[in-house]
Amino acid sequence: MTNLLDSDWIAIDGTLDAIDFSGFADDRSPAELARLVLNAYSRPGDWMLDPFAGLGTGLITAQAMGRHCVGFEPNTARADWVRERLWPPNRIIQAPIQELEAHELSRFALVYTSPPYPTVNLDDDPWGPSYFADMKAIFASIAPHVAPGGRLVVEVSNILTEDGFRPLVGQMAEAIGAVLRLEREVVRINTSGWPAGPGVQHSSLLIFGA
């Protein structure tokens, strides 16, 4: 298996596994990528946090690899679907990550996530024009919960749609890098026809130290 510590780029198949969720399910990262991140930056028994858990690929993969995990997901259907696939002490909290401080949690060796992507034009975005300021604040609030020597790995791609191009990798690195130390970037390339992001075949793992 490829070791993320050995290179500044990786090539994976990138195809998403079929799941039985009844709603939209293509906004996921592949389990193959989660395994690479978990192997590089955690050990069995470590705790992992996914602040934007979605359909829980990172959480379910962490559990299968002997890690403990907690995720935050405000969408009821998604949180319920993930909850059925986790067992204690692993859990998903149906709430936005902004409610982190309301919960007593262990410190995390690894934070691994892919945030919800904005649109090309933030004025039309459901999140709104405060997207990058909010990302900065969210990751600043997570940092004190990371164990010494821990890492935060944020998977993100650029965006190419009929509305234009957004260089989201650089923008996210700048926003989160204002509050955390950006250590390196690992580019992930899909060898299959499956997109790695909106209109693109590659994404980046932005690796931060707390």
| Single-letter amino acid, residue 2 | T
pLDDT band at 4 (very low <50, low <70, confident <90, very high): confident
Does position 106 have pLDDT exceeding 80, yes or no?
yes
Give the CATH architecture of domain 4-209. 3-Layer(aba) Sandwich (3.40)
CA 196 distance to own-chain centroid: 13
Question: What mean pLDDT do residues 195-209 have?
Answer: 96
pLDDT at 2 (0 to 100): 56
Do 201 and 155 touch, CB atoms closer than 8 A?
Answer: no
- Distances from the Cα of 103 to the Cαs of 37, 93, 95, 99, 143, in angstroms? 25, 9, 11, 8, 15
Render pLDDT for 129-165 as a digit per residue (tens, 0 to 9): 899 999 999 999 999 999 999 999 999 999 999 999 9
